[in-house]
Amino acid sequence: MSCSRFVRLVRAFAVLLAVGVSCGVFALAHAQATAATPHGKLLIESIDVEGGQSTLLVAPSGQSLLVDTGWQDHNGRDAERIAAAMHEAGITRIDYVLITHFHDDHVGGVPALVARVKVGEFLDHGENREDAAATRNNYAAYLKAIAGHPRRIVHPGDTIPIKGLNVVVLTADGQHISAVPGIKPVPNPWCAGEHPWPDDPTENARSAGILVTFGKFKFLDLGDLTGKKEVALVCPANPIGKVDLYLVTHHGMDWSNSRAIVYAISPRVAIMNNGAHKAGKPAAWEIVHTSPRIVDLWQLHTAEDSDAAHNSPEALIANPKGDGDGHALKVVALRNGSFSVTNTRTGQTKQYPHQ
Ligand SMILES: [Zn+2]
């Protein structure tokens, strides 16, 4: 072997060694990054609270947000279901509980929840303004239950600081945002054909609603916001853009889910948190089902007072018959915008690729 050939071989070996070392370093760095974010995925679980709302979000950082707590009574049934969902998600506390409004099917579960689960901070739209004894009682019970916990009143434009997610409050106490940072409002062609909606003096119209962004993935939850406020939010310009996942507003009641909002946000997938005999109205189902980009409309229950033409196929329904089973719908989303939905009754998962 000539001297120069030997030198070339030594150089080639040195290059190979350097590449090997840097790959090793890269692999180690990658492993460390993976360990810091165990799955790199956002979990959104629509917990079955039999026609109320309770939606658990767990970010890759492990930080969590629970939107609403289901009903009071039933021996803490809904709090038990929330605790079970937390256990499965591997979390031992909820960092933020957002109460959308002070109706029993959303705030009623708070006393039972705080008896079982550690909560970091409660968020809500501010004092109850509904002139009804039941709602005043709900609000009083809520204030009593959260005594000793931090409480923050949220306004449109506020954010909920969960590491790795961008959570913006769109609506609260009857007010709404006109622009979301990073999203250019666009004229909404569906406003022109919208019919007038009545004033709603109830707590529904004051629902705190949020837009959750995780990379390219977007999730919209507006609580029980009713038609007039929905239209005010997205007309004449839509500040939300399109979303991947839509929690069908107000459990699929037909005094929410105006065409102007549902068609404008044009979700790819929707989850309706109806009960066996609560909401899931044909008109609301039809609007979501015919919206421009919809692939699937999942339901927590068969809407048993509706008909077969206004219910999804059984594979997309967590609880096909009656109440009490408590099966959930679990969404797992990636930053690239792809996500999956699992029906915990069947164990089957459907994938939705990124776009
Ligand atoms: Zn409700």
**pLDDT per residue of the chain (355 residues) written in tens, 0 to 9:** 444 444 454 454 444 334 333 333 333 333 333 333 346 999 999 999 999 999 999 999 999 999 999 999 889 999 999 999 999 999 999 999 999 999 999 999 999 999 999 999 999 999 999 999 999 999 999 999 999 999 999 999 999 999 999 999 999 999 999 999 999 999 999 999 999 999 999 999 999 999 999 999 999 999 999 999 999 999 999 999 999 999 999 999 999 999 999 999 999 999 999 999 999 999 999 999 999 999 999 999 999 999 999 999 999 999 999 988 899 999 999 999 999 999 999 999 999 999 8
Q: Could you tell me the distance, in angstroms and rounded to a whole number, from the CA of residue 354 to the centre of ligand 1? A: 31
Together in a domain, 143 and 13: no
Q: Could you tell me the distance, in angstroms and rounded to a whole number, from the CA of residue 239 to the centre of ligand 1? A: 24
> What is d(CA 167, CA 214) in angstroms, rounded to the nearest whole number?
9
Q: Could you tell me the distance, in angstroms and rounded to a whole number, from the CA of residue 27 to the centre of ligand 1? A: 48
Structural domain for 305, as ranges: 39-352
Together in a domain, 161 and 232: yes
The single-letter DSSP state of residue 310 is: G
Residues 6 or more apart in contact with residue 245 via CB below 8 angstroms: 44, 217, 218, 219, 220, 267, 268, 269, 270, 271, 331, 333, 339
Q: Could you tell me the distance, in angstroms and rounded to a whole number, from the CA of residue 279 to the centre of ligand 1? A: 9
> Which CATH number is 189's domain given?
3.60.15.10
Q: Could you tell me the distance, in angstroms and rounded to a whole number, from the CA of residue 160 to the centre of ligand 1? A: 22
Q: Could you tell me the distance, in angstroms and rounded to a whole number, from the CA of residue 253 to the centre of ligand 1? A: 9
Sign, CA torsion 106/112/118/119: positive
Together in a domain, 212 and 304: yes
Q: Could you tell me the distance, in angstroms and rounded to a whole number, from the CA of residue 60 to the centre of ligand 1? A: 28
Residues 6 or more apart in contact with residue 283 via CB below 8 angstroms: 254, 257
Q: Could you tell me the distance, in angstroms and rounded to a whole number, from the CA of residue 199 to the centre of ligand 1? A: 18
> Which segments of the chain are extended strands (E)?
42-46, 55-58, 64-67, 93-98, 118-124, 151-153, 159-160, 166-172, 175-176, 186-187, 209-214, 217-221, 237-238, 245-247, 269-272, 296-301, 317-319, 329-333, 339-343, 348-352
Q: Could you tell me the distance, in angstroms and rounded to a whole number, from the CA of residue 105 to the centre of ligand 1? A: 5
pLDDT of residue 105: 98
Q: Could you tell me the distance, in angstroms and rounded to a whole number, from the CA of residue 51 to the centre of ligand 1? A: 7
pLDDT of residue 226: 98
pLDDT of residue 20: 39
Together in a domain, 30 and 92: no
pLDDT of residue 126: 98
Q: Could you tell me the distance, in angstroms and rounded to a whole number, from the CA of residue 23 to the centre of ligand 1? A: 53
Contact criterion met (CB below 8 Å) for 128 and 139: yes
Taking Cα atoms as reference points, which of 230, 208, 233 lies closest to residue 221? 208
Quote the tokens at residue 1: 């072997």
Residue 281, CA distances (Å) to 6, 48, 185, 307 in order:
81, 18, 30, 10
Together in a domain, 228 and 305: yes
pLDDT of residue 131: 96
How many alpha carbons lie under 13 Å from residue 254 in its C-beta half-sphere?
10
Q: Could you tell me the distance, in angstroms and rounded to a whole number, from the CA of residue 28 to the centre of ligand 1? A: 48
Together in a domain, 20 and 94: no
Q: Could you tell me the distance, in angstroms and rounded to a whole number, from the CA of residue 202 to the centre of ligand 1? A: 11
pLDDT of residue 309: 98
Residue 292, CA distances (Å) to 13, 190, 259 in order:
59, 11, 11
Q: Could you tell me the distance, in angstroms and rounded to a whole number, from the CA of residue 38 to the centre of ligand 1? A: 34
Q: What are phi and psi of 213, to 5 degrees?
A: -120, 130
Q: Could you tell me the distance, in angstroms and rounded to a whole number, from the CA of residue 335 to the centre of ligand 1? A: 30
Residue 319, CA distances (Å) to 55, 62, 266, 289, 329 in order:
16, 28, 25, 19, 10
Q: Could you tell me the distance, in angstroms and rounded to a whole number, from the CA of residue 238 to the centre of ligand 1? A: 24
Contact criterion met (CB below 8 Å) for 13 and 26: no
pLDDT of residue 101: 98
Together in a domain, 157 and 127: yes
Number of domain units in the chain: 2
Together in a domain, 142 and 20: no
Together in a domain, 107 and 127: yes
Q: Could you tell me the distance, in angstroms and rounded to a whole number, from the CA of residue 117 to the centre of ligand 1? A: 22
Beta strand 42-46 pairing with 329-333: antiparallel
pLDDT of residue 39: 67
Q: Could you tell me the distance, in angstroms and rounded to a whole number, from the CA of residue 224 to the centre of ligand 1? A: 6
Q: Could you tell me the distance, in angstroms and rounded to a whole number, from the CA of residue 312 to the centre of ligand 1? A: 21
Chain centroid to Cα 282, Å, comes to 23
Taking Cα atoms as reference points, which of 139, 104, 105 lies closest to residue 122? 139
Together in a domain, 164 and 133: yes
Q: What are phi and psi of 308, to 5 degrees?
A: -60, -30
Quote the tokens at residue 95: 């960092």
Q: Could you tell me the distance, in angstroms and rounded to a whole number, from the CA of residue 278 to the centre of ligand 1? A: 9
Q: Could you tell me the distance, in angstroms and rounded to a whole number, from the CA of residue 33 to the centre of ligand 1? A: 40
Q: Could you tell me the distance, in angstroms and rounded to a whole number, from the CA of residue 206 to the centre of ligand 1? A: 12
Q: Residue for token digits 């180690």?
A: 28
Together in a domain, 165 and 28: no
Q: Could you tell me the distance, in angstroms and rounded to a whole number, from the CA of residue 68 to the centre of ligand 1? A: 9
Contact criterion met (CB below 8 Å) for 331 and 212: no
Enter the pTM of the model.
0.89
Together in a domain, 143 and 20: no
What dihedral angle (degrees, nearest 10) is formed by the CA atoms of 147, 148, 154, 160?
Answer: -140
Quote the tokens at residue 84: 């079970």
